[in-house]
Homo-oligomer: A and B are copies of this chain.
């Protein structure tokens, strides 16, 4: 057995700040569905355990987290949150105590952690050790983390893209969408994005290289908008929003088009969700709609990193983050995803190191 190592001064007990879910959520989540409170915690792993204690640095705000605030909704992928306990999500953290030979104190890791200053992670097999620290550490919650791999697998694997195809991305300036657009351009596709503000639309065109973009809030007829931007129709739709946008897209898909369903953020707070009325068009156009989850592509993570890192270092793929400072700002930042307050990937900075 390796000797257990503890960072100097980190063996003590701290008053650990946490973001706790008050109770299960109906409808749109509100800041006061969560509470910031403190709980005593010893910064040591239990004697003889395989666990690690981490200091959380960056926490990721992701739309799927809303689904964990309702019981049993995502139980095929993830267990729901437990009321009166800290919520969890992916994040970047530093090992401060380790009972696990794979991790030593000071290592920077990326994986599922708690929304709190320090977390005891009893099952550290799911953590990745971060090797490349010449890029911002926060990138591992976004472009180099779960959203990045989601965009990569969703576009290259699920969409089966070909050069010259017509690609539409919704929530296009978000954590995943901004990457899908850039991947589509690298592939030689024509790509149009939709987003919810002029600022985001400008970003899509000026920063991410989308061929065109529009503000869906300013379009009273989404079908007409899509016909304007895609007079030839859509080969690939990367679906992040669902609802009325999906229904309009179905009217505009080309023959043998593909819809990769990453998420449907517009629907997570609706009960019942919007009814989709144009599904018959998938028969007329022989269209494939495929739901996917990044959890099925984790084995591609190192291939993905090998692809992304050079592109990032050479400035060929860029990334916009929206960083909220301090764990206290976490609930506001998370809830803001559902009204589109974030511009780019929403991150919560808990500590710089």
Total A residues in contact with B, Cβ cutoff 8 Å: 36
Contact B282 A289 (CB under 8 A): yes
Mark out the residues of chain A between 233 and 284 whose CB falls within 8 Å of any chain B CB in the assembled complex: 242, 246, 255, 261-264, 267-268, 272-284
Q: Is A84 an interface residue (CB 8 A)?
A: no
From known contacts A280-B267, A283-B292, infer whether A274 and B275 are also in contact, taking CB-CB under 8 Å. Answer: yes
Closest to A278 in B: B273
Is A285 on the interface with B (CB-CB < 8 A)?
Answer: yes
| A288 CB–B CB distance under 8 Å | yes
With known contacts A276-B276, A277-B275, A283–B263 Cβ distance under 8 A? yes
Nearest CB on B from A151, distance (A): 15
CA distance A292 to B273 in the complex (A): 26
Which residues on the B side are within 8 Å of A286 (C-beta)?
290-293, 296
Knowing A275-B277, A277-B273, A279-B276, the reply to whether A76 touches B291 (Cβ < 8 A) is no
Residue among B275, B285, B288, B289 making CB contact with A275, cutoff 8 Å: B275
Check: A77 CB closer than 8 A to any chain B CB: yes
Please judge, given known A-B contacts A274-B277, A275-B274, A277-B272, whether A290 and B284 are in contact too, CB under 8 Å.
Answer: no
- Report chain B residues within 8 Å CB of A264: 279-280, 283
Q: Is the CB of B282 within 8 A of A293?
A: no
A291 and B280 alpha carbons, distance in the complex (Å): 8
**Interchain nearest-CB distance for A215 vs B (Å):** 24
Contact A290 B280 (CB under 8 A): no
In the complex, are the beta carbons of A290 and B289 less than 8 A apart? yes
User: A77 to B284, Cβ gap below 8 A?
Assistant: yes
Cβ of A291 and Cβ of B285 under 8 Å apart? Answer: yes
Contacts of A284 in B (CB 8 A): 73-74, 76-77, 291
Bound Cα distance from A280 to B285, whole angstroms: 21
Quick check: B293 and A283 within 8 Å, CB to CB? yes
Check if A176 is an interface residue, CB within 8 A of chain B.
no
Minimum CB–CB distance for A118 against chain B, Å = 32
Question: Hey, what's the 0/1 contact readout for A62-76 against B, CB within 8 Å counting as 1?
Answer: 000000000001101
Cβ of A195 within 8 Å of any chain B Cβ, yes or no, is: no
The answer to whether the Cβ of A334 comes within 8 Å of any Cβ in the partner chain is no
Which B residues touch A290, using CB under 8 A? 282, 286-289
Closest to A273 in B: B277
Report how far A181 CA is from B206 CA in the complex, Å. Answer: 54
Checking B274, B276, B283, B288 against A288 with a beta-carbon cut-off of 8 angstroms, the contacting residue is: B288
Q: How far is the CA of A278 from the CA of B264 in the complex (A)?
A: 11
- Enumerate the 10 nearest inter-chain pairs by beta-carbon distance, A residue then B residue, closest first: A275-B275, A282-B291, A283-B291, A289-B289, A288-B290, A276-B276, A272-B277, A273-B277, A76-B284, A287-B291
The interface of chain A, by Cβ under 8 A from chain B, is 73-74, 76-77, 242, 246, 255, 261-264, 267-268, 272-293, 296
Q: Identify 15 residue pairs between A and B in the complex whose beta-carbon atoms are under 8 Å apart, listed by A's number.
A: A73-B284, A76-B255, A77-B284, A242-B280, A262-B283, A263-B283, A264-B280, A264-B283, A273-B278, A273-B280, A275-B275, A275-B277, A283-B292, A286-B290, A286-B291
If A275-B277, A288-B290 are given as contacts, then 20 extra A-B residue pairs at C-beta distance below 8 Å, sorted by A number, are A76-B255, A76-B284, A263-B283, A264-B280, A267-B280, A273-B277, A273-B279, A273-B280, A275-B276, A281-B291, A282-B290, A283-B291, A283-B292, A284-B291, A286-B292, A286-B293, A287-B290, A288-B289, A288-B291, A289-B290
